[in-house]
Every structure is written in C-alpha cells, then in structure tokens.
C-alpha cells in the first residue's frame, strides 16, 4: 500500500506503512451530521459508510522503510491520505486534494501511511492524541486568518470546534477573545477555558443588529477576526456585521450549504471572507501545544464509552443531544 490508498492486510504490502491498534476515537460533529442527515455540505452518503476519524493508537508493526516509529509507540493519526501528485498537493495544499482518501475506522486495527502517524510525547495521553484532529481544525483556521498578538477574535459557536478555535487563537497570541452561543452551559465552559467575555444570543435572524452591538460592547475594542464555527445564515451575518472594516471572517462550520448574507455592506468595508477545509501540516504544532501545556484539551472530553453495540448507540445519542456533552470519546 502506498500513499494513495489504505489496506487492512499485511503491513508488508506497504514498506512505508504502519499497523496501528486503535485505542481512543472521538465522535466528530460531522459523524453525527452524516448519521442524522446522510449528507454534509456537498458530501452525500450513497453507499454504506463507517464513521470515525479522530483517533490515536499504538504501533503494532511498521514497514521496512519506516525509521521514525517502532512497535509500542503511541501515535496520533492524521486521517487524510492525499495523492501527492496533483497540482494542489504539489503546491502544499494537500488538504484540498480531489483524490483525498479520508480515514474511517471499521476495525480496531488499521494500516496507514507512517508519515501520517505522529509519536505522542510522554506526557500526552492517547485521548489527547485523538483530540489533535479537532485541534487541527482550529490551527488551520487561525493560520488562514492570520491570528496573532494584535488581533482581537470573535468566535461564533461554543461547540467543540468553536472551543478549540478559541484555545488555538489564545495560543497564537490573541489578546482578547469573545465567544457567542445560544447555550448557557457551553458559554460557561468557554469562560472556564479562558474566553474574556461571552455573549448569549437567540436563534432569530431579527436579533442580529442588536446582538452585534452587544458583541462590540463585550469586545470593548474592534473585532479584527471572526470565526463562524456554526455555519448558519444568522451566525455568518453576525460575524460579517461585527467584524471591523479591513478585518477578516473565517467560515469554519458547515451548518448550512446555502446562506443569505449581507455581503455588500461587508464588501464596501473590505471585510475579507475565507473558508477552510480540514487542515494541513498541523499535527506537530498540536502535539507541541499539548506537550508544553499551552493548550489543555482534557476539559473538553466530557463523556467516555466502550465499543459494544449499545455503548456506540448511547455515545452517538449523547453527542447528538448536546447538553453538557462536548467531546464524546470511545476507549477501545
């Protein structure tokens, strides 16, 4: 097996591959969305699909050309396997590769390209290793938006991705962060994790103008960068209106495929809009953030389950229900 595919056979099929026994797998919001809606954005489920891609495990065997890993190593796994031949891959934007094969976890054991397996520091747990996947979304978003010590950040949505984006923005040096959500519990978690201010909003589009003023008041300064981690017409409209002239809005969430947005008012203020898709070259930085303690993802893991049929069903119901659940993790 080379970079272009995956196998669950003998590791000898790929001299650059590693066989990994999965130990920790998180449930992503996209997993729940696919299960409930059978689609996400332009991705439609047309045949049987196994879900799960936030993972970490233990190396069982490595190919003959693998030099940086040995059996027994604990690793976090980057799940996307790009072709490395197309123009996007050659340009370094492999996350946009049209031939991307994205890891799904039908077995406790997988074979995966070893260069997409990252050894965990001694003080980083397997669960934390699995959290590198959602954390990578936050890292890629903050890189795309150029977050730094002089950028005040607004985060729309205090779900798992909103919270990791907030944590990464702080690690990147943002001096002031305001986070917005409809749920009191998630806002309280955001505050505990370091948000400077929180703003509770409604689901009504009619409240956007008033809520923008409340957000600006909470920020107490200009909003340089906004991250929409929900991806609805209302959240994106709020982000566009709250962001200062010359600022930037980064669309991270994919709640709505189509939106009705006030683009013209944002355009005349030169508010840039950028999107993200997954991540690229993020695992080493994520692991360094975890190793150094600059980011602590442990409080985000709120529920843990085994892997029996009933436990899997209960885990997905817990994740879909929301409430006090943030990240639901399988321990295998």
For the stretch 227-265, pLDDT in tens is 999 999 999 999 999 999 999 999 999 888 899 999 999
C-beta separation of 57 from 75 below 8 A? yes
Residue 33 is predicted with a pLDDT of: 65
What pLDDT, on a 0 to 100 scale, did the predictor assign at position 71? 97
List the one residue out of 324, 318, 25, 290 whose CA is nearest residue 136: 290
Q: For residue 236, give the DSSP letter.
A: H
Task: Reply yes or no on whether the pLDDT at 34 is more than 80.
Answer: no
Query: Which two tokens mark 295?
Result: 């980011």
Q: Which residue has the higher pLDDT, 53 or 156?
A: 156
- What is the pTM assigned to this prediction? 0.91
Statement: residue 313 has pLDDT above 60: yes
Tell me the backbone φ, ψ of residue 174, rounded to 5 degrees.
-60, 130
Among 205, 201, 179, 182, smallest CA distance to 192 is for 179
> Could you tell me the pLDDT band of residue 312, with boundaries at 50, 70 and 90?
confident
The answer on pLDDT for 320 being more than 70 is yes
Residues 201 and 180 sit within 8 Å (Cβ to Cβ): yes
Residue 121 DSSP one-character state: P
More confident residue, 50 or 129: 129
- Cβ-based neighbours of 210, under 8 Å, separated by 6 or more: none
- Give the containing element (helix H, strand E) for 272: strand 272-275
* Structure confidence by residue, pLDDT tens digits, 65-100: 999 999 999 999 999 999 999 999 999 999 999 999
pLDDT for residue 107 is more than 70: no
CA dist 246 and 264 (Å) reads 14
Is the pLDDT reported for residue 104 higher than 80? no
Q: How far apart are CA 291 and CA 206, in angstroms?
A: 44
3-state secondary structure 126-188: HHHHHCHHHHHHHHHHHHHHCCCCCCCEEEECCCHHHHHHHHHHHHCCCCCEEEEECCHHHHH
Judged against a pLDDT cut of 90, whether residue 43 lies above it is answered with: no
Rounded to 10 degrees, what is the CA torsion of 191, 197, 203, 204?
A: 170
49: confidence class by pLDDT, cuts 50, 70, 90: low
- Are 252 and 137 in contact, with CB atoms under 8 Å apart? yes
In this predicted structure, what is the pLDDT of residue 251? 98
What confidence score (pLDDT) does residue 40 get?
Answer: 64
Q: How far apart are the first and last CA of the chain?
A: 25
Alpha-carbon distance of 302 to 190, in angstroms, equals 14
Q: Are 25 and 51 in contact (CB under 8 A)?
A: no
Alpha helices in the chain (DSSP H): 29-37, 87-90, 126-130, 132-145, 160-171, 184-192, 208-219, 233-242, 263-268, 283-292, 309-321
Work out the pLDDT band at 6, boundaries 50, 70, 90.
very low
Mean pLDDT, to the nearest integer, of 310-321? 90
DSSP, res 72: T
- DSSP H or E stretch at residue 330: strand 327-331
Evaluate whether 79 touches 40 at the Cβ level (below 8 Å).
no
């Amino acid at each position: 097996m080379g970079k272009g595919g995956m196998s669950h056979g003998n590791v000898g099929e790929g001299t650059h591959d590693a066989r990994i026994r999965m130990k920790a797998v998180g449930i992503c919001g996209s997993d729940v969305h696919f299960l409930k809606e059978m689609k996400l954005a332009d991705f439609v489920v047309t045949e049987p699909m196994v879900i799960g891609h936030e993972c970490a495990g233990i190396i069982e065997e490595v190919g003959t050309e693998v030099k940086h890993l040995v059996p027994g190593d604990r690793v976090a796994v980057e799940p996307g396997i790009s072709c490395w031949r197309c123009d996007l891959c050659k340009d370094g934007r492999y996350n946009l590769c049209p031939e991307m094969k994205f890891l799904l976890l039908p077995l406790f054991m997988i074979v995966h390209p070893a260069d997409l397996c990252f050894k965990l520091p001694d003080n980083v747990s397997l669960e934390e290793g699995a959290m590198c996947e959602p954390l990578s979304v936050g890292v890629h978003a903050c890189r795309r938006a150029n977050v730094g010590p002089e950028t005040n950040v607004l985060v729309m949505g205090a779900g798992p991705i909103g919270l990791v984006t907030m944590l990464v923005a702080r690690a990147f040096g943002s001096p002031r962060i305001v986070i917005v959500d409809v749920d009191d519990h998630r806002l309280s978690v955001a505050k505990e994790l370091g948000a400077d201010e929180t703003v509770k909003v409604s689901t009504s589009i009619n409240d956007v103008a008033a809520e923008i003023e409340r957000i600006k008041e909470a920020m107490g300064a200009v909003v340089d960068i906004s991250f929409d981690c929900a991806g609805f017409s209302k959240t994106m409209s709020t982000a566009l209106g709250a962001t200062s002239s010359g600022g930037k809005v980064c669309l991270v969430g994919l709640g709505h495929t189509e939106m009705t947005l006030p683009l013209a008012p944002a355009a005349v203020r030169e508010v840039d809009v950028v999107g993200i898709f997954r991540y690229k070259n993020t695992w080493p930085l994520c692991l360094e953030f975890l190793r150094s303690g600059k980011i602590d993802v442990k409080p985000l893991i709120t529920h843990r389950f085994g892997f029996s049929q009933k436990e899997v069903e209960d885990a997905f119901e817990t994740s879909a229900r929301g409430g006090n659940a943030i990240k639901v993790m399988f321990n295998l």
